[in-house]
Amino acid sequence: MVRLLKLALVLVVVGVLAGVGVVAYYSRDLPDVATLRAYDPPQITRVVDRHGTVIGELYDERRTVIPIERIPRVMVLAMLASEDADFYRHPGVDYLGIARAVGRDLIAGRAAQGASTITQQVVKLLLLSPERTFSRKVRELILAYRVEAELSKDEILHLYLNHINFGQGRYGVQEAAQYYFGKNAENLTLAEASLLAGIPQAPARLNPRRHPEAARRRQLYVLGQLESKREAYWPDLSVEDVAAAREAEVQLVDLPEPGGSAPEVMALAREALRAQVDDAAYRRGGFTVHTSIDLPLQQATRAAVRGGLEAIDARHGYRGPLHAGRGANPTVDGALRLGRTYPGRVVSRDTQGAQLLVDVGGTQVSVALEDTARYNPSGLSAEAFAEEGARVQVSLLQLPSEDDDGPAPARLELGPEAAAVVIDPRTRDVLAVVGGYDDGAGFNRALQAVRQPGSTFKAFVYGLGIQSRRYTPATLVIDAPAVYDQWQPQNFETWRHRGPIRLRDALAGSVNVVAVRVIEELEPSAVAAFAARLGITTELDPSIALALGASGVRPIEMTNAYATFAAGGRWAPTRIVTRIEGPSGDLPLPAAEAPRDVMTPAEAYVLTSMLTSVVESGTAQRARALRRPAAGKTGTSNDACDAWFIGYTPTVVTGVWVGFDDRRPIGRNETGGRAALPIWLEIMRAAHDGPPVDFPMPSGVVSASIDPATGLLAYTGMEGARSEVFLEGTVPTEEARRPEVAAPDAYLLEQFGGNP
């Protein structure tokens, strides 16, 4: 007996020493549990519009950390019932739970039940790897004790409830509550909390969206645990509460429609955030990027762009069915590149895969029919959509690879593209920005495309003319054929010449010859400098062709230049990202360029008044359908490769550009007034509510009645006299002659040398 006691004592000592040795061995190089106090896991970065509505999210893990005070007691109880009822009683390791689990595993002949406490799960999630090995388990047990010594129970629970996976890439109770129920965690009911509490055991299998029956069974288990252990653990929880939760019908919130509504804004938000933080902080997230965007207007702008482009597609047949073409196969110079449009020929159609195989200069690429909805509104099959030999235009989504035997993916580019920018002229907040038809991230034509502005540039020519005091809206300029270095400007809108014409009417009718004569007198270099002061940063060719928009510009810069007119002549930089809110406070944004006065309010008003005539009686009369005072200018480049309309009211400025990326003509009879203006009109309708507001007349502007034929002051009682606005000091001093004194054309003969 004594021997047995001695043997037992020896075994105990050996066991203790072995245990101490194991603990000492596996305690080497363990993580410092004190780091848990600086809990800073990956969180969602949200990009919001001017009203705080979420535009989109950036994340590695979709998580929003909230304090334990915001987590309701029903969520805590449901999670304890599901995962660790003894949490507030054990020291980090539940030996009775381990014994029960081992016994059940032996009976089942497999690992049927886990035995990890919430503390152990926190250790596994935040301090160790998830591998299933003996050494990892020992380290987990050691660390669980240390965590309990370092943190309070509530602190441990805070870590756990913010870190665990609730399925569908949602981590933490706040994201789970939002994703499944569309509410904040503090507003969860017991029925909802018990449904969520069941998910972490197997997020893929117990997801209530994908597996509602399995999720319901797990919810009932959680509620059963709550009821059976209520008296021992949570006596304040009533049987009636549990019964009501069991009978309650839990409604999942509908998911939003897939697809980004503002990929252009998301790209700019990412760029702005990356410029302010390092890569680790960017990936960790937890920021809120505030923008100037008005999300409903952004969505309306994209809808208007799509509708306008689809109307052009319908007018010119830029859609299926596509018929076989004749002639030689299209060729491609040089290697294929991303961001370019190439001619191709359909060589085969995969009817099962709904794909077109297209030969592009000897390289085969594939086009998925599901990505061609714009050009296939009737939902034609691949065989019906395109005949073999049909000529198409495509752009590559991925470059061909030698390691990939299949054709590179591409997309059809049958119809033109568009860009639209909406600006508040008072603040220069960009309210909407659309860079193309697609809502996927890519080339943002609104900010990046450099295109010829056509006659929209005439506003700069006439604006400088007004500022120079050499011209007024009533100034007569002769519209007659002229040749400049073997170049003869034509009036493409009318194809005729009108003789002497007032500057206002020349702008309204987009008379090219008059614009050329004005820039010749002002000097093209002066107009280019004026455009630079208005914010045009692209290089402008200081030739007389600049009057007709022969140099490339960016849509956002052109739109903001017009916003300067609407703002009384004061230029300011546009802004989209207005604030970046970080976990520790706001981040500093780069200093913006200082505003500057380019025109006086009076000069800007006179130009605006002239631009209203474009809408009232000129090339943009379709804009009258807005039924409120508006000013603007159409623009069409040579061969109708670019179509523009930039217009504004006192509160909103919108610029629209339409054209092919490869600078093909848009189509026969397409002009700024036909291709771009309808898009502008739909956007502006969405941008306005309330009664119409007129452009306020500032000091320094005077009105006078003039003779429309001569631009001189109207004589008393003159029929057909018109009211005109002038800068102070520029009102005509001579009065038009009465009919009984001289023939109506006498003044014109005198002024223009007998050649009116």
The domain spanning residue 565 has which CATH number?
3.40.710.10
CATH of the domain at 191: 1.10.3810.10
More confident residue, 383 or 559: 559
Q: Which of 10-24, 162-176, 216-230, 535-549 shows the lowest per-residue confidence on average (mean pLDDT)?
A: 10-24
- What is the SS3 assignment for 267-309? HHHHHHHHHHCCHHHHHHCCCEEEECCCHHHHHHHHHHHHHHH
In this structure, the answer to whether residues 491 and 608 fall within a common structural domain is yes
* Residue 316, token pair as written in the block: 């010119």
The answer as to whether 468 is a domain residue is: yes
Worst-scoring range by mean pLDDT, 108-112, 372-376, 698-702? Answer: 108-112
Mean model confidence pLDDT for the chain: 88
> Would you say residue 499 has pLDDT above 90?
no
Q: Is the same domain home to 590 and 623?
A: yes
Average pLDDT in the 83-95 region?
85
Annotated catalytic residue within 116, 194, 261, 455: 455
Write down the pLDDT at residue 257: 60
Question: Is pLDDT at 535 greater than 50 in this prediction?
Answer: yes
* Number of domains within the chain: 4
- Quick check: is 261 in a domain? no
Question: Quick one: 487 and 627 in the same domain?
Answer: yes
Residue for token pair 């306020």: 696
- pLDDT band with cut points at 50, 70 and 90 for residue 18: very low
How large is the average pLDDT for residues 224-230? 90
> Which residue type does 308 have?
G
Rounded alpha-carbon distances, angstroms, from residue 79 to 120, 161, 252: 15, 9, 19
Burial track 514-535 (b if 16+ CB lie within 10 A, e otherwise): bbbbbbeebebeebbebbebbb
**Residue 539 annotated to the active site:** no
Cα-based distances in Å from 146 to 16, 151, 209: 20, 9, 38
Q: Which residue has the tokens 């510009």?
A: 553
pLDDT band of 710, cuts 50, 70, 90: very high
- Buried b / exposed e over 638-673, threshold 16 CB at 10 Å, is eebbbbbbbbbbbebbbbbbbbbbeeebbbeebbbb
| Residue 653, beta-bridge partner list | 423, 648
Task: Indicate whether 28 pLDDT > 60.
Answer: no
Q: Looking at residue 438, what is its pLDDT? A: 84
- Please give the pLDDT value at position 111: 45
Cβ atoms 473, 610 nearer than 8 A: yes
CB atoms within 10 A of CB 585: 7
pLDDT of 591 higher than 80: yes
Last residue of a domain, one of 225, 247, 269: 247
Query: 686 with 707: CB under 8 angstroms?
Result: no
Q: Has residue 284 been placed in a domain? A: no
3-state secondary structure 609-632: HHHHHHHHHCCCHHHHHHCCCCEE
Q: Do 527 and 605 share a domain, yes or no?
A: yes
Strands (E), 12-93: 45-48, 54-58, 62-63
Block residue for tokens 């004061």: 570
Tokens of 628: 């409120």
Whether the ω angle into residue 321 lies within 30 degrees of 0, i.e. cis, is yes
Mean pLDDT of 409-417: 92
Q: Is residue 423 very low, low, confident or very high in pLDDT (cuts 50, 70, 90)? A: very high
Q: Which positions ≥6 away from 434 have C-beta within 8 Å? A: 264, 298, 301, 302, 305, 418, 419, 420, 421, 446
In angstroms, the Cα distances linking 40 to 30, 66, 182 are 20, 12, 25
How is residue 138 written in tokens? 């020992």
Residue 270 lies in a domain: no
Strands, E, within 96-237: which ranges? Answer: 170-171
Q: Which domain holds residue 408?
A: 326-331+338-368+385-414
Are residue 742 and residue 654 in the same domain, yes or no? no
- Which two structure tokens, joined as six digits, stand for 65? 């950390």
Cβ burial, residue 500 (10 Å; 0-12/13-18/19+): buried
Q: What pLDDT, on a 0 to 100 scale, did the predictor assign at position 493?
A: 54
Alpha carbon distances (Å) from 162 to 33, 80, 144, 185, 440: 17, 14, 18, 11, 32
Q: Taking residues 62-85, what's their average pLDDT?
A: 92
What is the rounded CA–CA span in Å between residue 45 and residue 273? 10
Lookup: tokens for 648: 């504004």
What's the CA gap between 220 and 235, in Å, rounded?
Answer: 19
Global pTM? 0.85
Query: Considering the domain boundaries, does residue 191 fall inside one?
Result: yes
Instruction: Assess if residue 16 is contained within a domain.
Output: no
In a domain, 467, yes or no: yes
**pLDDT-based confidence at residue 46 (cuts at 50, 70, 90):** very high
The pLDDT confidence band at residue 631, using thresholds 50, 70 and 90, is very high
Report the alpha-carbon angle 427-586-36, nearest 5: 155
Identify whether residues 717 and 619 lie together within a single domain. Answer: no
User: Is the CB of residue 420 less than 8 Å from the CB of residue 559?
Assistant: no
- DSSP assignment of 448-476 equals H--B--GGGGHHHHHHHHHHHTS--TT-E
Q: What is the pLDDT of residue 510?
A: 93
Percentage of residues of the chain with pLDDT beyond 90: 64
Q: Which residues pair with 288 in a beta bridge?
A: 46, 581
Nearest residue to 544 (alpha-carbon basis) of 558, 567, 527, 531: 527
| Res 592 pLDDT > 50 | yes
**Cα–Cα distance for residue pair 619/454, rounded to 1 Å:** 13
Where is average pLDDT lowest: 355-369, 393-407, 421-435, 600-614? Answer: 393-407
End-to-end Cα, the chain, rounded Å: 137
Q: What is the CATH number of the domain that holds 394?
A: 2.40.50.140
pLDDT value, residue 112: 44
Rounded Cα–Cα distance for residues 201 and 3 (Å): 49
Do 426 and 440 reside in the same domain of the chain?
yes
Residue 295 domain-assigned (yes or no): no
The Cβ of residue 705 has, within 10 Å, a number of other Cβ atoms equal to 14
Query: Are residues 674 and 573 both part of a single domain?
Result: yes
What is the per-residue pLDDT for 91?
87
> Which of 61, 83, 227, 603 does the annotation list as catalytic?
83
Residues 596 and 674 in one domain: yes
C-alpha 489/C-alpha 60 separation (Å) is 57
How far is it, in rounded angstroms, from Cα 461 to Cα 473? 13
Whether residue 223 sits in one domain with residue 361: no
Phi, psi of 265 (to 5 degrees): -70, -40
What is d(CA 385, CA 732) in angstroms, rounded to the nearest whole number? 65
Half-sphere exposure of 37 (CA within 13 A, CB side): 8
pLDDT at 81 over 80: yes
**Are residues 398 and 434 part of one domain?**
no
DSSP string, 138-150: HHHHHHHHHHHHH
Residues 478, 589, single domain; the answer is yes
Banded model confidence at residue 329, pLDDT cuts 50, 70, 90: confident
224, 247, 270 - which closes a domain: 247
Residue 145 predicted with pLDDT over 50: yes
Each residue's pLDDT tens digit, 286-317: 999 999 999 999 999 999 999 999 999 999 99
Q: What's the mean pLDDT in 654-660?
A: 97
Last residue of a domain, one of 247, 271, 302: 247
Which residue bears the tokens 């040398």? Answer: 753
520 is catalytic: no
